[in-house]
Amino acid sequence: MATTTDEATIEFELVPNWEKCPEGEEYRHMDVADVACDSQDRVYLHTRKGERVMVYDEDGNFIRKWGDGVFARAHGIAIHDDVVYCTDDQDSVVRVFDLDGNFQWMLGSPRQVTDTGYGSFRGKTIAIHHNEFVERAAGPFNCCCNVAIARNGDIFVADGYGNARIHHFDKDGTLLNSWGDVGTGPGQFHLPHGIALDGQENVIVCDRENDRIQIFTREGELKAIWTDILRPTDVVVDKDGLIYVSELWRPVEAGQGSFVHGFADHDLPGRVTIFHPDGTIAARWGADSDNRSAPGNFIAPHGLAIDSKGSLYVAEVSCSFGAGFNRIGLDECLNHQIQKFRRVR
């Protein structure tokens, strides 16, 4: 059973060993950057081994894979009206596909980034986090992260690793509006990463390296800031208006600081939090440094999806964030990339 707070009003249980990998892919995908569900509750994993999309049924049986050779680095995936939107943060584009992986169109041009001063942080001395090298906000895109789709097909993009903006496009890809700037003040960002729309189509943004959620109108007017958050990576909203947030591990080491809180003096492990629409906590679990690779716990939660039955899928970038920096063993990471939780209350 998922561990929740004493005040929890909802509860989930882990579905053990949900994913049945196809033969020959026992080492799976190294990372699952994000996850999404279609209208038939099929589950789409945007993975980083081969940079592809892998499709499963709701019981974890493999159906198909597509996208090999298309993506530079898998990041976000969203499905709206059975259209698939895949974000590639290395190419700085959003590619749009049908459910079978047939390419439809694209927002942005591969490797054509706007001038935010970000450049390459490799080899440079990082004071807090590499996002500090974003000097100014600019237009689309510079290492964009995730998308959310409105009921009318409008597209909202969190342009985060190399930028500090939210971009609003119409359904045909015409830019309508952008907002945000670099910083820690209201309406400013340090790595806008995850994004979702609630039932009123307010725009919920994971301001990752500022350790907060910011909520805006569709026009970019700030409505609320939630700060009981650790390094939020993704956000989804269910049919009841509950807001689910994945929260990334913050290790005690250089380059892993918060622009708001500085460096942690103790390990802050990953977790998942579910909020009521007013920002109060409905459930929270994970946050266990001693057992972070245990089933039901989290190493590096990075993406979320909810199916029509209320089941929750949590995608993790355990290999790149954990094993890739020698924070945890590779064997543990290979078995900790996608988890399904069934709602029981």
Q: What confidence score (pLDDT) does residue 49 get?
A: 80
Q: What confidence score (pLDDT) does residue 22 get?
A: 84
- pLDDT tens digits along 273-324: 999 999 999 999 999 999 999 999 999 999 999 999 999 999 999 999 999 8
User: Would you list the domain boundaries of the chain?
Assistant: 12-343
Instruction: Name residues of the chain where pLDDT drops below 50.
Output: 1, 3
Please state, in angstroms and rounded to a whole number, the distance separating the CA atoms of residues 211 and 123.
26
Q: What confidence score (pLDDT) does residue 9 get?
A: 74
The answer to whether 2 touches 8, Cβ cutoff 8 Å, is no
Q: What confidence score (pLDDT) does residue 200 get?
A: 97
Q: What confidence score (pLDDT) does residue 150 get?
A: 98
Adjacent-strand bridge partners of 244: 236, 274
- pLDDT tens digits along 93-131: 999 999 999 999 999 999 999 999 998 777 789 999 999
Please state, in angstroms and rounded to a whole number, the distance separating the CA atoms of residues 117 and 99.
37
3-state secondary structure string, the chain? CCCCCCCCCCCEEEECCCCECCCCCCCCCCCEEEEEECCCCCEEEEECCCCCEEEECCCCEEEEEECCCCCCCEEEEEEECCEEEEEECCCCEEEEECCCCCEEEEECCCCCCCCCCCCCCCCCCCCCCHHHHCCCCCCCCCCCCEEEECCCCCEEEEECCCCCEEEEECCCCCEEEEECEECCCCCEECCEEEEEECCCCCEEEEEHHHCEEEEECCCCCEEEEECCCCCEEEEEECCCCCEEEEECCECCCCCCCECCCECCCCCECCEEEEECCCCCEEEEEECCCCCCCCCCCCCCEEEEEECCCCCEEEEECHHHHCHHHCCCCHHHHHCCCEEEEEECC
**Fold (CATH) for 12-343:** Neuraminidase (2.120.10)
Q: What confidence score (pLDDT) does residue 7 get?
A: 55
Q: What confidence score (pLDDT) does residue 123 get?
A: 79
CB-CB neighbours of 158 under 10 Å: 31
